[in-house]
Amino acid sequence: MSEINDQILTNFHCCPEWHLAKLKSPTGALIYPFAHRLSRRSHKFSCSSETVGEFFGRDRKTVLRAFGELCKVGFFELIEKGRFDVNVYRVLSHTEWAAKNPGKCAQKVQYPWTGEGDKLGQRLYAASGTRVKFRSYQVAAFRNTGLDEETIVSLFETFRSGIGQDLKPKNVGYRFLEFLRNQ
């Protein structure tokens, strides 16, 4: 995980679990998906802290602290304060939460081989048996040879079964480019 321009970059898409892992209360990380699932249609969650505590094997006060922390970070919104009854919370999905909290989600780094970048990078990654991750500058260099995509992939398969079979993955990109330039 790295940070560029106040954006947190990761190898994965942002999800509620990423935010919940930062809670002080690990119980909040248990309660949120439970509450989200129970409130799927209505978005309303109204279970007592005692009942939830019994279900998860936690003390009622621990559950109350978790409810409070989920409200503080914005995954729960207090709709109705229960007088002599339970509170009613609106449970926000990660999408709803992200819309209300711009800039707080992790951003997935996009690599050419992950399905979000250059199709040639994806095809070469697959042709390597998912062992070689080609960088975008390498894929651009392969394209700059003037060969079409089909030819590049075909030549990679030839390269892989020949001189490329004994190379370490980190050396394949450079050596394959040399191979392409000699064609």
Residue ranges covered by each domain of the chain: 2-108, 119-181
Question: 19 φ, ψ to 5°?
Answer: -75, -40
pLDDT of residue 178 exceeding 60:
yes
DSSP states of 11-51 as a string? SS---HHHHHTT-S-HHHHHHHHHHHHHTTTT-EE---HHH
pLDDT of residue 114 exceeding 70:
no
Cα–Cα distance between 11 and 135 in angstroms, integer?
15
Pick the CATH number of 2-108 from 3.40.50.150, 1.10.340.30, 3.30.465.10, 1.10.10.10: 1.10.10.10
Residue 115, pLDDT score: 55
* Tens of pLDDT, residues 63-112: 999 999 999 999 999 999 987 789 999 999 999 999 999 989 988 776 65
**What does pLDDT average to over the chain?**
89
* Tens of pLDDT, residues 158-174: 999 888 888 888 889 99
* Tens of pLDDT, residues 6-16: 567 777 889 99
Helix axes 49-56, 60-73, angle to 10 degrees: 110
Residue 83, pLDDT score: 78
Q: How far from the centroid of its chain's Cα atoms is residue 108's Cα?
A: 6
Q: How far from the centroid of its chain's Cα atoms is residue 88's Cα?
A: 30
- In one-letter notation, the amino acid at residue 47 is C
Q: Percent of the chain beyond pLDDT 90?
A: 63
Kindly indicate the confidence band of residue 113, based on its pLDDT and cuts at 50, 70 and 90: low
